[in-house]
Structure 1
């Protein structure tokens, strides 16, 4: 599936909701534990800004992940993500509940995952994307595979792809590249 960028672009145009996994997507998948048992993850600021751009464009951003970590809650708060779903065993069922709450159709939803537990949700969504270093079967079933790895700018690349497909990227980045008028 991942070889058809034009099909991926067409599917991305319809998105009103984009959800993301955490480990291997928003982070590189490494898990760090303090001596006190606190789980730590590293998040990429490029990815965070991409998520903010999606929200600014009116696309609802969500996190649906199988693990629970306080640092994920803090990161979601920092980015203004209100649809945070942690410790989810059935990601597809959680997406269906979220779609019902938001009154959206599955064709208007996308998901970015990297491993086998993400596949049922990715296959059900109108758009799916995966990082370059995802499991090979996940890459095979995603509509788009990024050139970057999880936790290393893959989310930003996906966000910009979606915004470009919707014709919104240039307007959103224009304030940052406009000539200085001093």
Structure 2
């Protein structure tokens, strides 16, 4: 366990898919199409990050048409599927933008995510993330993957940057 780092300086936030943006269940139709279930709460959190000027990227080890559609629906231009080395993918994205690793965060749920989680300036996992992962991140959400964990982390990031209250207040007018 390390001392938790703050997301106050994040400019880019990456997310895993299975177990983070979804509950990790894999559904297949009889003809082999994959079905994924996403939370609308999580989706709005991603939109709020984007509206605050934080770039949202999705880096997943798996590929699916459902994910392509969801990313497009959310306006996430940086969708990387079928990625074996997520840390190398992040490094490429950061180099293209002239950002340091400390300006990036990632949310993952399993041990395969540890290399990228440990390389970021801020790392998070859902409440039901693997126990070993929970011991090596800065923030463990109270919610499970696909059930509001992403929204919770988005709110945490925005609060750390002093932006959340103003963004929420705008909905009261």
Normalising by the smaller structure, the TM-score range is: over 0.9
**Match of residue 43 from structure 2:** 48
Calculate the aligned-residue CA RMSD, in Å. Answer: 1.0
Of stretches 33-42 and 168-177 in structure 1, the one that deviates more from structure 2 is 168-177
Aligned structure 1 segments of 4 or more residues deviating by more than 2 angstroms:
none
Q: CA deviation at 1:102?
A: 1.4
2:127 is equivalent to residue 132 of structure 1: yes
**Match of residue 90 from structure 2:** 95
2:170 is equivalent to residue 143 of structure 1: no
**Match of residue 65 from structure 1:** 60
CA distance in 1, matches of 2:19, 2:97: 27
**Match of residue 162 from structure 1:** 157
SS at match of 1:13: coil
SS at match of 1:18: strand
Q: Structure 1: any 5+ residue segments left out of the alignment?
A: none
Q: 1:172 aligns with which of 147, 167, 170?
A: 167
Q: Structure 2: any 5+ residue segments left out of the alignment?
A: none
- Count of paired positions: 173
SS at match of 1:81: coil
Between structures 1 and 2, the one with greater helix share: 1
Q: Which has the larger radius of gyration?
A: 1
* TM-score for the superposition, normalised by structure 1: 0.93
